[in-house]
Structure 1
Amino acid sequence: MAAPNLLQLSPPTCDDRLIWDVERSFYHFPTLAAADELGLFPLLDTNPMTAAQVGQALSLGPRATEALLGVLTSLGFLTQSHGHFSLSGVSRTYLLPGSPYYRGSIIKLFGNVPLTSATILEALKKERASAYGGGEMWETHEMDSALAEGFTHAMHCQSLPLAMGVALNGDFHGIKRVLDVGGGSGCFCIVVAQRWPGTTFTIMELPAVSKVAQRYIAEHGLQDRINTVELDMFKDRWPREYDGVFFSNVFHDWDRDRCLFLSRRAFEALPSGGRIFVNEMLLDETKDRPLAATSFSMTMMVYTQGKQYSANELREILGESGFEDIRVTPTHCYYSLVTARKR
């Protein structure tokens, strides 16, 4: 049989740049993590450097240096001018260890996670978390105090800019006492307390995380305005002496039924006129953008029982719980604060 003449094929109707970009994106985050581990960002903090100078300082050969700097510059973490490399604004803000917004802990946490297509396929087919051996992430962290501390610290670093957004853009007028459900390190309570001096806070957390939160509270000298209570938000009775209930990155860990349960528990715990605050990265109503939110939803698919929600989905959950006057306020980056009032 004669060999097929490939030139008789019709040319592709579009190029395959998108496929190339997605294929190669597999190296983006590990390269960022490697650069953080190498100390590249503090190296470039003071003065721009040539590739040769970077390679010498980091004990890397020319080929390795070119690959490292090329990826990071293409992604926007570095800039290049006349052969000299400098930090971009994003790197200066989030990738210098001396910055209060340094994301090194979260980069280290996920830098060595062995995420594969098989992991995602298992989660998609079984519709349940496939990481942690199919177990529950929160139970794993709660049983291991070192894991709990490392994870909570990483979340604290990631959450600080989000907390700033909530404190500056959220409306806490008239709120005297806030219950922060699943409040982690207390990052949101600490920042909001500094912005709203007339409000006190309680962080409701599991014991291992609560101990970490107490240290952060003490570091900021806010023990007189922020305390912790060790409760399971699904199993234990919630305290009732609060006129605000706050959730951040909690709803996205759970399916709709569990979110509705939490919303109803908040409604029951609040007095008339009390308010609920839900801080989340929202999907557009079409569920296909922004990319950060759709990717975060896939992350939740692999690690938790949840997903990212749209504003309307959260409106429906809060409305079914009895809340009214539901509002959505953009706070920081992809995040918005959804608020509502109890009748």
Structure 2
Amino acid sequence: MPRLATTPPQHDPTPIFELFRGSYGSELLTAAIAHFDIFARLERSPESLESLAAANGLQMRPANVLVTALRAMGLIGVADGKLTLTAMAQEHLVPGGMYDVGDYVGLAAQSPGVLTMVRLLKSNQPLSFDDGGAAFIYRDGMASAMEATDSARHFTLALAGRAKNVAPALAEAVDAVDAELLVDIGGGTGIYSYAILQKHPSLHAVVVDRPEVLKVAEEMAAEYGVADRVTLQPGDMFDDSMPTDADIVLLSNILHDWDVPECKKLVQRAASLLRPGGQVAIHDVFLNDEQDGPLPIALYSAALFTLTEGRAYSEAEYAAWLVEAGLTVQPRVDTLIHCGVLAGKKA
């Protein structure tokens, strides 16, 4: 009997993920207080994000991750387009204030986690894998754990832990009633595609990923009983050719691995693969359009920042990229563990 990818879990595991990612909040708060001149500068005068980033030697991606988290914590607000301190931060985090607790938080300033976070924020680079490359991402010329058999298998199966929980909800959220071909870019184990295939028996899927990753996807396709409807295509998602008659192009938890220029390129590529009436389905987490939370997503953004070249993005950012690619944005449908699907349809 094939394994079912369409049966949802009995218990929502979202709280487990929130607890797991909570440590990033401590690290970012301590870094902002003890290593960056955030609260003292904003007490003197409101500043733009760009100005605050430049004053602390930060590029825009790390500055966005740091400030989004501080806004989600209720410590920084925005007035007239500039960052300001909230009343709580004004009372408790301005150095020298009567009720300043900055020195107390600063007791963790030299902890390994905080020092690593500070180094990553200043360098705008993800954590290195054992050989100096990256663990979760691949680009041409980059050493990647996804290129070695053992590490690729380990990381791919680890990431499948979330996919198994979310895939049933994704299969319900994606409109594939009349679809014939699904292209899953960076599909990993393929579990997201396999759930959609099980729900729609006439559908075929092409899963694109690195060769070592697809070895796991091949095993999973057999376990889920969809091997006869899956084509596993090794390749580079940025440059290698893909099928150009897709009804659905799925970008599930992929764009958050990359910075804005790469995200735009991937969305443009995905849109170019569609037949008329097809859709690009972005399945990911979503920051508020105001970039002030929710806090669990802001902390997940920090996790993404430390491990990839990306961060979490807002629905407005994703929607803008879909529109730039010539697609019409559809209403967002939430899935599980803070994820949702935002689709763009081709006329």
Structures share a fold, TM > 0.5? Answer: yes
Q: Secondary structure at the match of 2:335?
A: strand
- In the alignment, does 2:148 pair up with 1:129? no
Distance 1:115 1:244, change over 3 A: farther
The CA distance in 2 between the partners of 1:288 and 1:249, in whole Å, is 21
**2:115 matched residue in structure 1:** 118
Deviation at 1:148, TM superposition (A): 0.4
Q: Which amino acid aligns with 1:210?
A: L
Counterpart of 1:211 (choices 204, 212, 215) is 215
**2:65 matched residue in structure 1:** none
Deviation at 1:326, TM superposition (A): 3.0
- In the alignment, does 2:144 pair up with 1:146? no
1:77-116 alignment runs, 5 A limit: 116=113
Q: Secondary structure at the match of 1:271?
A: strand
The CA distance in 2 between the partners of 1:238 and 1:199, in whole Å, is 17
CA contact (8 A) 1:249 1:279 kept: yes
Deviation at 1:330, TM superposition (A): 1.0
What's the C-alpha RMSD, in Å, of the aligned pairs?
Answer: 2.2
State the percentage of identical aligned residues: 28
**2:253 matched residue in structure 1:** 249
CA contact (8 A) 1:170 1:331 kept: no
Counterpart of 2:301 (choices 297, 304, 310) is 297
Number of aligned residues: 235
Q: Which amino acid aligns with 1:308?
A: A
Deviation at 1:26, TM superposition (A): 5.3
**1:340 matched residue in structure 2:** 344
1:120-175 deviations in whole A, cap 9, x for unaligned? 11111122213437633334222321010011111112111211111123222221
With normalisation by structure 1, the TM-score equals 0.65
**2:181 matched residue in structure 1:** 177
Q: Secondary structure at the match of 1:132?
A: coil
In structure 1, runs of 5+ residues without a counterpart are 1-21, 28-113
**1:326 matched residue in structure 2:** 330
The CA distance in 2 between the partners of 1:122 and 1:129, in whole Å, is 10
Counterpart of 1:316 (choices 316, 320, 326) is 320
Q: Which amino acid aligns with 1:326?
A: Q
Q: Secondary structure at the match of 2:153?
A: helix
**2:267 matched residue in structure 1:** 263
The CA distance in 1 between the partners of 2:249 and 2:178, in whole Å, is 13
- In the alignment, does 2:286 pair up with 1:282? yes
1:162-190 deviations in whole A, cap 9, x for unaligned? 11111123222221110000000011011
CA contact (8 A) 1:329 1:338 kept: yes
The CA distance in 1 between the partners of 2:289 and 2:230, in whole Å, is 36
Counterpart of 1:168 (choices 164, 168, 172) is 172
Higher relative contact order (CA 8 A, sep 6+): 2
1:17-40 deviations in whole A, cap 9, x for unaligned? xxxxx9xx759xxxxxxxxxxxxx
- In the alignment, does 2:197 pair up with 1:187? no
The CA distance in 1 between the partners of 2:189 and 2:265, in whole Å, is 23
1:25-63 deviations in whole A, cap 9, x for unaligned? 759xxxxxxxxxxxxxxxxxxxxxxxxxxxxxxxxxxxx
With normalisation by structure 2, the TM-score equals 0.64
In structure 2, runs of 5+ residues without a counterpart are 1-18, 25-110, 138-142
Moved over 4 A (4+): none
